[in-house]
Amino acid sequence: MDYCVVFIGVVNGSVFLGYFSYTSFQKKDNSRRARVIQCAHVLCPNITMSIVFILWGVTEGFLTEAATCSALNFVRILFLFWIAVHLKSVEDYVHEVMDRLAVLLQYIVITVVAYSPIIVDLWNKTDNIGKVLVLTFLFLGSLLVSLHAVAVVCYRRNLQKVTDQSYVNTEITNFLRLCAIIWTYGLQLNHLPVLLFPLLAIICFKVCVHCKCPIPVLHFVSVLLILQIMSVSGSIYIHYDLVTNMKGKRDILTWITVFLHILTVIIMFASLHNFTVNRHPESGSRNTVTLPVWCVVVFVIGSVLAVLVNAAVLLVALILKARNGQHTVDLQVILIPTECVFAACWLALQISVFWKNRK
């Protein structure tokens, strides 16, 4: 009964705030009242669902599943605020910080939460030297993200270098994820070529950004997209080939891999956009006509539909648990693909605008 009350409250609150938030975007209302409504629309439903998932996990005993579902709802706040940046509804400084930090932090949080069981397996399987290496990698990774966040907040004069590093950090994390999987479950020679794709993507991106040769940017972008497709395909293959002792988790890790690579490509296009705008400022003005209209649609998908799906899935799971006496469906199998659809909608919009502005 308590969860039903929460479900009704989340649905009503999300629809009610969503209506006023949508109308304020349509009217291009940048008043303080409109911003408060937009912030409440983003924060209240997602924070509520995060807390509900944690409480459900603690009471039912599904902590890992609940942690992933809660993290998805919590980091969606960053994604929605990042979309709001493109709707011109925040101040310039907040615009700069969110544009360069939100998606990267979302990527890091999901990676840590989803891959924590594998890190635990790695910790249990290694000797003391291996445990020292694991702690070293974790410390260096945390330090790298912290320094990057400090640079974004403080380094206001030349944020293009910081933007470049966002994509590089993401690809390094992709490389380290694959290394952790291979290290934990065994190295095979047919897995080694997959490790090269993130490194090749970094090299290609650096050449695209810093090389002054007359090669069109679209050629580099096409190569980067091909490398991303090969990287996600190889990563899925490694997960299915090696992760055999985690019952029912391979499908979840597959969807997590897809989601993380979608975020990687989003960061790549954001970095390329900021780079081209800084080099050719006149190209950035063309986005203001077509982008905000579709931004509102994607914003509504993420702020209303995604929250409603999360609430409905949890309610159905509780009903099935009460009827059957056991937990029959892993919520991650439904919620992670839903998040992939939301992220893919924004990625499709990014690619479309990027291509149109460079024809």
Confidence tier at 341 by pLDDT (50, 70, 90): very high
Percentage, residues of the chain above pLDDT 70: 69
> CB within 8 A of 335, min separation 6: which ones?
68, 69, 72, 309, 310, 313
**Residue 21 tokens, joined:** 């938030």
- Mean pLDDT (whole number) for 262-291: 65
Which residues in 5-14 are b (16+ Cβ under 10 Å) and which e? Answer: ebbeebbebb
Length of the chain in terms of residues written:
359
* Nearest by Cα to 302 from 30, 73, 65: 73
The answer to whether the CB of 340 falls within 8 A of the CB of 262 is yes
Per 3-state DSSP, what percentage of the chain is helix, strand, and coil (rounded to 5)?
85, 0, 15
Q: Is 157 helix (H, G, I), strand (E, B) or coil?
A: coil
Mean pLDDT of 59-66: 84
Q: Name the token pair of 331.
A: 């919520």
pLDDT tens-place string over residues 297-312: 888 888 888 888 888 8
CB atoms under 10 Å from CB of 270, counted, come to: 22
CA distance 287 to 353: 7
* Stated pTM of the model: 0.84
Mean pLDDT of the chain: 76
Q: Which residue has the tokens 């969110």?
A: 98
